[in-house]
Amino acid sequence: MPELPEVEAFARYFAKHALKKRVARVVVRDERVLGVRAETLSRALRGAAFREVRRHGKHLFADAGRQWLHLHFGMSGELTAHEDPKAAPRFARVIFVFSDRTCLAFEDMRLFGVVDLTPSPEQYVEDHSLGPDPLTPRFTPRVFSELARGRRGAVKSLLMSQDVIAGVGNLYADETLYQCGVHPRRSVADLSGADLRVLHRILRGVLRTAVERRIQDRGLPPRWLFDHREEGKRCPQCGGSIQRTAVFGRTTYFCGKHQR
């Protein structure tokens, strides 16, 4: 489930369980999640202590001194801390073992995640043409309007394009449009300046609320679309019928009555 709010919760979890601890060794159980050679990763981290953790969109970065550890969670990645490395679960692909013998496991059942190294978060963002993180002050309504200007595609595509906004995936794109009452296939060119300002405000509200909930390990509000992602279900806001379609190659749910 890792989109921006989940990754923010992972960042807090990382800070709690891994920051300021010295890395004793790195156990690579499955090299397929690595973006660097196992030996390179080990050499970069062994003996180092993570000094700071940062997040940009769905990407997590931890300062290991000369380099930063970069984690991307793909479809099914998550972090879990354990008292004993031997207790790390089945899908733990990489395990960071600390000198106090506790460990942090990068779990990823479906193997779409990535563990690698980068010179700095800024460099990574630059190299991968990531857009601004929508929860930073830099992401103003004006910046959002400029990013949207000139785009012809569907508004859902805009929200999910990582080079426009970093961190919004399928679920939170649907959620935002649902709360705005905007149809996911509505053309960006068709949105007024006022529409874009509303979209910007609701997007940030959705993400902020989701971050709070995820940090507390709670579910999302019952009146959100989130728990009603099923064709034919009743819309908790207007009683309309939830529809299913595909936009931007992803399964998309929306209310056929109040999203226009």
Contact (Cβ atoms closer than 8 angstroms) between residue 125 and residue 158? no
The residues in 102-161 that bind DNA, with binding defined as CB under 7 A, are 109-112, 128, 150-154, 157
Residue 6 binds to DNA (criterion: CB under 7 A): yes
* CB of 156 or CB of 200, closer to DNA: 156
Q: Out of 186, 204, 208, 250, which one is annotated catalytic?
A: 250
Alpha-carbon dihedral 174, 154, 162, 93, rounded to 10 degrees: 50
How many Å is the Cα radius of gyration of the chain? 20
Number of residues that bind DNA (CB under 7 A): 31
Structure tokens at 175: 């959620």
Rounded least distance, CB 2 to DNA, Å: 6
Q: Which is nearer to DNA, 103 or 168 (CB)?
A: 168
Q: Exactly one of 3, 6, 78, 107 is catalytic; name it.
A: 3
Question: To which H or E segment does residue 60 belong?
Answer: strand 59-63
Contact criterion met (CB below 8 Å) for 244 and 252: yes
How far is 58 from 153, CA to CA, in rounded Å?
23
> Is 58 a catalytic site residue?
yes
**Catalytic residue list contains 89:** no
- Which has the closest alpha carbon to 24: 105, 97, 106? 97
Out of 75, 119, 146, 193, the residue judged to bind DNA by CB under 7 A: 75
Query: What residues have CB less than 8 Å from 183, skipping those under 6 apart?
Result: 155, 177, 254, 259, 260
Residue 249 within binding range of DNA, rule CB under 7 A:
yes
CB of 56 to DNA, least distance (A): 11
DSSP class of residue 3? S
Smallest distance from DNA to CB 139, Å: 17
CB of 200 to DNA, least distance (A): 17
Residues with active-site annotation = 2-3, 58, 250
Binding site for DNA (CB under 7 A): 1-3, 6, 32, 57-58, 72, 74-75, 109-112, 128, 150-154, 157, 162, 169-171, 246-251
